[in-house]
């Protein structure tokens, strides 16, 4: 019996799915948010997959609340006084995004079986990296433009952290936003709540230069065992875990200050930003302290310290919702000029937004509906 050879065509769904999976797996470790993404509301980025959701459709997130009302005392009739269970929901709109790369004329021999897999490997790696930067920047932009509660200060040092922690625990003292319940910690350490604080390089340097941090550094283990002086990180202070994110590097198209970065929690999953490095943006005010006029990347933005502000993030569980719709796809298209050139394309159906609950039946006396769930912005004047 003659041996046969099975050949899978380059445009086969099976082959494309394998290429797609490999490209995303290779790119995933480069994502800032990957470590904070999970399939439950205990994660900072709560991801839900709905393979039926197409362009313009919603992925729905449902939540319930705890009971809080007091008990019935003694022999007083209890029936009919049951506390109503609280239900909240939110939804994330899925859009289709396509990322393309011009492969040049290196695929001209495809019709005689000379399609180089290494070329596809290069394309899917580059497209995977492009997708990760896009996804990360979308979450950064959503987080910096969706907070309903903001703490503002011209001070940023070790001592001020204690004041911020008190605001977070008591739910009062915000510069923007009324009293709110403390955000749920994304993890606990030794039975104590821990919140994530994401800062840019400017705030990290400013913090390490403060007298409080310097006193902490001089008493650290000189042998270098997790020594902050050697690792150049702040680490855990109080109930905060500090993480440094990259500063945004790139450009955002369109009229500066046009609101392209603001969309009530659905801020940037769009095609208006060229991203070289995904990260936190800084902003310049419009002559009024803490009123953003231009964000880094927008036309006309310059880093003048007289009007420059960093916006850091305090994050708890369920801060963001990431909806993943139809399965991603990888495609190759040859040119009409007898296939002398080609382009590769990665297609993703997804959406990201800050979690803001809609009340389905009844809210608490201190409302949680309509408030960014696990997100507080921290504006520091530089």
Whole-number percent of the chain with pLDDT over 90 = 14
Whole-number percent of the chain with pLDDT over 70 = 74
Closest to 368 measured CA to CA, from 58, 149, 141: 149
Q: Which residue has the higher pLDDT, 328 or 21?
A: 328
pLDDT at site 27: 55
Q: Three-state SS string across 90-145, please?
A: EEEECEEEEEEEEEECCCCCHHHCCCCHHHHHHHHHHHHHHHHHHHHHHHHHHHHH
pLDDT over 90 at 310, yes or no: yes
- Report domain extents, the chain: 13-66+89-143+327-358, 148-321+375-381
Which residues contact residue 257 at a Cβ distance below 8 angstroms, ignoring those fewer than 6 apart? 293, 294, 298
pLDDT over 50 at 109, yes or no: no
Residue 325's pLDDT band (boundaries 50, 70, 90)? Answer: confident
- Please tell me the pTM assigned to this model: 0.82
- Would you say 46 and 62 are in contact if contact means Cβ atoms under 8 Å apart? no
d(CA 132, CA 117): 22
Over residues 170-217, the pLDDT tens digits come to: 889 999 998 998 888 887 766 677 899 999 988 888 877 766 555 555
- Structure token pair of residue 280: 């936190």
d(CA 364, CA 358): 12
Would you call 229 helix, strand, or coil by DSSP?
helix
Max CA separation in the chain (angstroms): 89
CA distances for 333 relative to 10, 184, 342, angstroms:
10, 47, 6
């Amino acid at each position: 019996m003659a041996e046969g050879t099975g050949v899978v065509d380059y445009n086969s769904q099976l082959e494309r799915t394998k290429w797609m999976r490999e490209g995303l797996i290779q790119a995933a470790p480069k994502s800032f948010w990957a470590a904070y993404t999970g399939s439950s509301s205990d994660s900072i980025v709560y991801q839900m997959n709905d393979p039926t959701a197409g362009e313009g459709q919603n992925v729905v997130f449902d939540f319930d609340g705890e009971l809080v009302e007091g008990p019935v005392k003694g022999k007083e009739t209890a029936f009919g006084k049951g506390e109503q269970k609280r239900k909240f929901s939110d939804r994330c709109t899925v859009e289709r995004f396509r990322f393309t790369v011009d492969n040049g004329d290196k695929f001209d021999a495809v019709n005689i079986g000379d399609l180089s897999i290494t070329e596809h490997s290069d394309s899917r790696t580059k497209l995977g990296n492009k997708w990760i930067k896009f996804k990360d920047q979308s979450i950064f932009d959503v987080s910096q433009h969706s907070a309903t509660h903001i703490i503002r200060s011209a001070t940023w040092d070790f001592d001020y952290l204690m004041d911020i922690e008190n605001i977070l625990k008591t739910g009062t003292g915000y510069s923007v936003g009324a009293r709110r319940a403390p955000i749920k910690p994304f993890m606990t350490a030794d039975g104590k709540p821990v919140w994530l604080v994401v800062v840019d390089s400017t705030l990290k340097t400013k913090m390490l230069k403060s007298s409080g941090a310097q006193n902490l550094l001089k008493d650290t283990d000189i042998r270098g065992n997790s020594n902050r002086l050697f690792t150049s990180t702040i680490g855990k202070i109080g109930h905060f875990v500090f993480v440094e994110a990259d500063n945004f590097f790139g450009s955002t198209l369109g009229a500066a200050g046009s609101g392209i970065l603001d969309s009530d929690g659905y801020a940037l999953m769009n095609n208006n930003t060229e991203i070289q490095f995904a990260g936190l943006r800084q902003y310049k005010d419009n002559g009024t302290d803490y009123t953003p006029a231009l964000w880094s990347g927008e036309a006309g933005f310059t880093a003048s310290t007289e009007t420059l502000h960093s916006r850091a993030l305090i994050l708890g569980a369920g801060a963001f919702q990431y909806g993943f719709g139809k399965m991603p796809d990888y495609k190759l298209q040859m040119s009409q000029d007898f296939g002398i050139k080609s382009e590769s394309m990665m297609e993703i159906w997804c959406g990201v937004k800050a979690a803001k609950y809609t009340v389905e039946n009844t809210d608490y006396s201190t409302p949680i509906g309509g408030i960014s769930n696990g997100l507080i912005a921290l504006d520091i004047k530089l």
